[in-house]
Amino acid sequence: MRRVRRKGANKDKVFGCDLMEHLTATNQDVPVVLRSCSEFVEGHGIVDGIYRLSGVSSNIQKLRSNKVTQPQYNIIYYITRHTN
């Protein structure tokens, strides 16, 4: 897998590690968190335009914080309990 570099790309680590390092370490081509979320949405959230809507910033920050401090945090449980 090759690294994609963009001018001005955000250097911050979202979940505490570099994405390419994570994918290499887990021998995956898609991050587990992304796979879990997409499987849930495909199975339970078939709504026109679901992938075009932005999330609520405060909920995104809570997810980010919990994922960093609790690596086994169940994101699917959070999504089903904290969305309208």
78 contacts: CB under 8 Å, gap ≥ 6? 62, 63, 66
Residue 41, domain member (yes or no): yes
For the chain, what is the domain count? 1
Of the candidates 71, 18, 68, 61, the residue with the CA atom closest to the CA atom of residue 82: 61
Residue 26, domain member (yes or no): no
Residue 38, domain member (yes or no): yes
5: left (phi over 0), alpha (psi -120 to 50) or beta: beta
Q: Which range of residues forms the domain containing residue 47?
A: 32-81
Residue 54, domain member (yes or no): yes
Of the candidates 11, 13, 16, the residue with the CA atom closest to the CA atom of residue 70: 16
Of the candidates 31, 1, 35, the residue with the CA atom closest to the CA atom of residue 17: 31
What is residue 55's predicted lDDT score, i.e. its pLDDT? Answer: 72
What is residue 84's predicted lDDT score, i.e. its pLDDT? Answer: 47
Encode the chain (84 residues) as per-residue pLDDT tens digits.
Answer: 555 554 545 555 656 778 788 888 888 888 887 888 888 888 877 666 766 667 778 877 777 776 656 655 566 666 566 554
